């Protein structure tokens, strides 16, 4: 198998799962850079140029809320799932499990 082909397909797979990973992490307030680090530690290395637009899009869709914390020396924007975001995460995880089960049946 060609490494470039594998890398391309893995990138597509990760792109489709980063929303679930972000929503799963944001069940508690987290600021952007900490989210990048937490995702990377869990095996979801995401570039900031990918994550920050995603966070803004999820917030615009009503799936996240954000709040600036200016109490520390450096202001940080904290994100957290809304109830709608948590419901979407549950639905996506259910679908993910269903797809995984179907693929296993095909093997």
Domain boundaries, the chain: 3-106
Question: Facing residues of 68 across strands?
Answer: 77
What is the reported pLDDT for 11?
85
Give how far Cα 97 sits from Cα of 23, 27, 73, 94, Å: 16, 20, 43, 5
Contacts with 81 (C-beta within 8 Å, 6 or more apart), sequence order: 23, 26, 27, 63, 64, 89
What's the mean pLDDT in 3-7?
Answer: 90
State yes or no: pLDDT of 1 exceeds 80.
no
pLDDT digits (tens, 9 = 90+) for 34-85: 999 999 999 888 999 999 999 999 999 999 999 998 888 889 999 999 999 9
State yes or no: pLDDT of 13 exceeds 80.
yes
Domain 3-106 fold is: Arc Repressor Mutant, subunit A (1.10.10)
Helix or strand (DSSP H, E) at 22: helix 3-25
State yes or no: pLDDT of 2 exceeds 90.
no
Task: Say if residues 29 and 79 touch (Cβ distance below 8 Å).
Answer: yes
State yes or no: pLDDT of 19 exceeds 80.
yes
Distance CA 82, CA 20 (A): 14
Distance CA 37, CA 45 (A): 8
State yes or no: pLDDT of 10 exceeds 80.
yes
Average pLDDT, the chain: 93
């Amino acid at each position: 198998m060609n490494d470039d082909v594998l890398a391309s397909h893995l990138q597509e797979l990760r792109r489709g799962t980063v929303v679930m990973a972000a929503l799963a992490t944001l069940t508690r307030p987290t600021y952007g850079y900490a989210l990048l680090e937490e995702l990377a530690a869990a095996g979801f290395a995401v570039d900031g140029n990918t994550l920050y637009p995603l966070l803004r899009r999820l917030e615009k869709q009503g799936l996240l809320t954000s709040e600036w914390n200016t109490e520390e020396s450096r202001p940080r924007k904290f994100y957290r799932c809304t109830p709608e975001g948590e419901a979407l995460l549950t639905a996506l995880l259910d679908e993910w499990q269903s797809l995984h089960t179907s693929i296993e049946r095909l093997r």
